[in-house]
Chain A
Amino acid sequence: MITVTSARKNYGSFAALDDVSLDIPSGSLTALLGPSGSGKSTLLRSIAGLESLDSGTVTIQGRDVTSEPPQRRGIGFVFQHYAAFKHMTVRDNVAFGLTIRKRPKAETARKVDELLEIVGLEGFQHRYPAQLSGGQRQRMALARALAVDPQVLLLDEPFGALDAKVRTDLRQWLRRLHDEVHVTTVLVTHDQEEALDVADRIAVLNKGRIEQVGDPVTLYERPANDFVMGFLGSVAQLGGQLVRPHDIVLERDRATALALDAKVADSPGVIDAVVERVVPLGFEVRVDLRADSGERFAAQITRRDAAELQLHEGETVHARAVARSSVVEHDPALAI
């Protein structure tokens, strides 16, 4: 369990953390999600002790570590750009934390072998970091951080420097690793897809404050405000309300649309719109629309629905929303 209480951190007049309180349960994989400058990295670095708070406290497993240096916090930290020890082999990198603790050689060797196997770098142990790919370097960095048996594992945009394919593979690998090792893990990311993919809890940060904390489904379906709604997935503005594009249904017949819409509580109503463009996106089709009010929005419908509707550019359709993700507290100022 990591507890951050009333954390504040200013850089000059810029408030990186503005009264942040957060509980991270033991054994969870929590993502700190937010745009750049939202304070997510500062929060992670404050937990690690790499950044000192102006006020507030950090406790790890019940121990107040607010004034402890990173060396004595029992953490493992993984950096976006690997922070590999370039003059050491992969093996020496992983062993570093144990070597400086002067653990018995045999114990160190056994532990390093075990970790190299977990991260799949057994064959690379005598290479130098420069001879590894980005993904391999990051796995080495993970093994290095895990070698000291940290109470918490902190990852700062760990996949940010990798290309898309490697990034997806590696985050699924991280998820499996977490299921095996069960160390409390905090991951910083600006990528909502990554957060939804790996984390079992997400804390959304914006402008140094926490907007909402919860599991991925809750955050996606019951976002606390427009910011969270907009940050966790694409949104369309329909009759002054934010809805997910895949919650928009298009009807040819206005009467049908009105009848079905009447059954939905709190609905934005039926909006007449002109089809501007039909874009096939693999198994779904995105329809770009322009409402009578001039407002533009996009609906995402299945291929089959699109085929049935036989949409053509310039035609008028009737849009309504179903079973939508609804914002708990609507505040247009927060919308992005």
Chain B
Amino acid sequence: MTAHTDEQRGGLRPGTDAAPLPPRPDPTPTDGTRPDADAPRPDGAGPPAAGRAGSAAGSGRPRGSGAGLGGLRRPLGVGVVTLWLSVIVLLPLAALTVAAFGDGLAGFWDAVTAPTALAALWVTVLVSAIVALVNAVLGTLVAWVLVRDEFRGKRLVNAVIDLPFALPTIVASIVLLALYGPNSPIGVELNATRWGLVVALLFVTLPFVVRSVQPVLIEADREVEEAAASLGASGWTTFRRIVLPTLGPAILSGTGLAFARAIGEYGSVVLIGGNIPRDTQVASQYIQQQIEIDRPQAAAAVSVALLAIAFLTLFVLRVVSSRTQRREERDA
């Protein structure tokens, strides 16, 4: 198995929460013992906090260093990881679900299908889908340029890709408001429009596709493209028929993660979106609003709906990735 397939597999194994970092080969906490968990990352960043915690718990030690010790520690490691995951992820999710169904199934259903709630969910999914698709195309292009083209300032551009993650999302919102807000210096006023939402979400989801496609492209065998050229394929034909199929899984995983991130985004849309119910109010803002007017059950119900959408996205990603993985394994 080559390094790039490891990267792909890693990239397609997203954390269940909205990942705080781009889709690099994140070891999910339960996978802390995987030998490829410490695979080199092109951008040199570490795994997300949850993954690091799993390693720190003792189960993530590299294999082959003292089998006896490993055997002694493994049950302890598994125990700590399970406990940690329960406290951090599973129990809160369970509590949320219980709260959502506090008024029974009918109460849940009413809360989710309330016109404003439904509109908020719809806007969220619609805008996120647009953002994900734009990312799929432009993220791939950015990755391509960063890997294949030589130009001055390439390293700087490469570093800038991660900026949206380093920035608190509320800062992103202010930054965008400065350019696209009222009295926009370039005459483009997107505040309180759905386009404003799209721009904000594009800003924060920029790194996902770029960072998942980049390593695959670096590892790609250039001779395969030369072979296609020698057989008469034009640059575009080679890209479409030879390169794209290899990048497919990475693009898909990056797109999926960008989508999952976009549906849960709050900070970056809170200022530029305008929070207009049934127009630009996204689900996260709706939830916030319900809490403020003391309707925790409605907030929990819409949260569970968001959760379900996120789970569905990740589930589809897993199915597709395991399918590609099967093909990749034949390559081994």
Contacts and interface: CB of A to CB of B under 8 A. Distances in A.
Contacts of B227: 77, 79, 83, 85, 141, 144
Interface in B228-247: 228-234, 237, 241-242, 245-246
Contacts of A101: 232
A100 B232 contact: yes
Contacts of B331: 86, 128-130
Interface stretch (B84-92, B105-113, B218-226): B218-226
B231 A96 contact: yes
Given A77-B227, A79-B227, A100-B237, A87 B327 contact: yes
Interface string A60-86: 000000000111100111010101111
Interface string A116-158: 0000000000001111000000000100110110000000000
A100 B228 CA distance: 10
Nearest to B223: A83
A283 to B, nearest CB: 41
Secondary structure of the B contact surface, majority rule: helix
A143 B211 CA distance: 37
B332 interface: yes
B155 interface: no
A84 B224 contact: yes
A79 B226 CA distance: 9
Interface residues of A, number: 29
Interface in A80-103: 81, 83-87, 96-97, 100-101
Contacts of B224: 83-86
A130 to B, nearest CB: 4
B152 interface: no
Contact of B231 (A69, A84, A128, A144): A144
Nearest to A86: B331
Interface in B77-109: none
Given A71-B230, A83-B224, A145-B231, 19 more contacts: A50-B229, A70-B226, A71-B229, A71-B233, A76-B231, A77-B226, A79-B223, A79-B226, A83-B226, A83-B227, A85-B224, A85-B228, A86-B246, A87-B327, A97-B231, A100-B237, A100-B241, A144-B227, A148-B232
Interface of A: 48, 50, 69-72, 75-77, 79, 81, 83-87, 96-97, 100-101, 128-131, 141, 144-145, 147-148
